Amino acid sequence: MKLIIGGSTGFVATELLSQALKNPAITSIIALGRRGATVPADANSNAAKTKLRSITCENFEEYPDSVKSELANADACIWTIAVTPMKLSTVPWEETCKISRDYATTAIKTIHTLRPPQEKPLRFIYMSGHFAPRSRAEIPPALQNHGLVDYGLLRGETETLILDYAEQSQGTVQSCIVKPGLIDAPGAEKREIPGLPHIDLPDIAAALLDQVIRGFEKDTLSNDDLVRIGQRALAGYSKG
């Protein structure tokens, strides 16, 4: 399987990279980012050499041909690029919309267009968040309390656009939205936000890889789904 990881330098993507390098079902990894990806310290150097290509890109709204050729014929993509709530105050709103919504919709379209017709559909995961409503009627009080209504709606709108793209692809694209709560790094102190569930970093990375390899259980995965799928996948690996 050829897998694209969009936003390969991030917190989740770094763990994805580490697990994907160890997973024999993934034979090629395109680590796409505005900066080069770092090879994880625990990576087998042979796997890193043969499976991994770090591709940097300056324009995520219009990919140059050199990047397009690297993205061609992918089987799956896990898209992690977004402005996260913690960085929201440092990025102008217009940029936030571009980075968190338009980059994702450009990615699914471009990667789809760069595939020759084939039996298996492209599998595309968009990483969103627990509190991202798809309509005003679904806005949870927690978003209001934190002044994040517009941000939540932006992420929810992107979910809808990504699902609609697959819906209109006549079966050539499957998309999946993942909605984790707070993602905890091993050994780090747990942050608490009322109403937000938790998931461990290795669990979510294992769940995302499981789903692109085995197929999507459904088009939207909650935090509970991700914990269950990730722990099942990790238990499977430890049995060998």
Please give the residue ranges that form the binding site for ligand NAP (CB under 6 A). Answer: 7, 9-13, 33-35, 60, 80-82, 84, 99, 127, 129, 180, 182-183
**Pick 35 or 146: Cβ nearer ligand NAP:** 35
Distances 86 to 19, 190, 197 between C-alpha atoms, Å: 26, 15, 17
**Pick 7 or 40: Cβ nearer ligand NAP:** 7
**Pick 34 or 228: Cβ nearer ligand NAP:** 34
**Pick 33 or 202: Cβ nearer ligand NAP:** 33
Angle between helices 201-214 and 223-239 (to 10 degrees): 80
State the minimum distance, in angstroms, from the CB of residue 224 to ligand NAP.
14
State the minimum distance, in angstroms, from the CB of residue 26 to ligand NAP.
19
Non-local CB neighbours of 108 within 8 Å, separated by 6+ positions: 77, 79, 124, 126, 162, 165, 166, 173, 175
State the minimum distance, in angstroms, from the CB of residue 122 to ligand NAP.
19
- DSSP secondary structure letter of residue 185: P
Task: Give me the residues paired with residue 176 across strands.
Answer: 125
**Pick 23 or 80: Cβ nearer ligand NAP:** 80
Q: Which long-range contacts (CB under 8 A, 24 or more apart) does 220-226 make?
A: 220/159, 220/163, 220/176, 220/177, 220/178, 220/179, 221/176, 221/177, 221/178, 221/179, 222/130, 222/179, 223/130, 223/179, 223/180, 223/181, 223/197, 223/198, 223/199, 224/197, 226/178, 226/180, 226/199
Q: Which residue is nearest to ligand NAP (CB)?
A: 10
State the minimum distance, in angstroms, from the CB of residue 126 to ligand NAP.
8
State the minimum distance, in angstroms, from the CB of residue 180 to ligand NAP.
4
State the minimum distance, in angstroms, from the CB of residue 129 to ligand NAP.
4
- DSSP secondary structure letter of residue 32: E
**Pick 52 or 183: Cβ nearer ligand NAP:** 183
- Does residue 73 contact residue 44 with C-beta atoms inside 8 Å? no
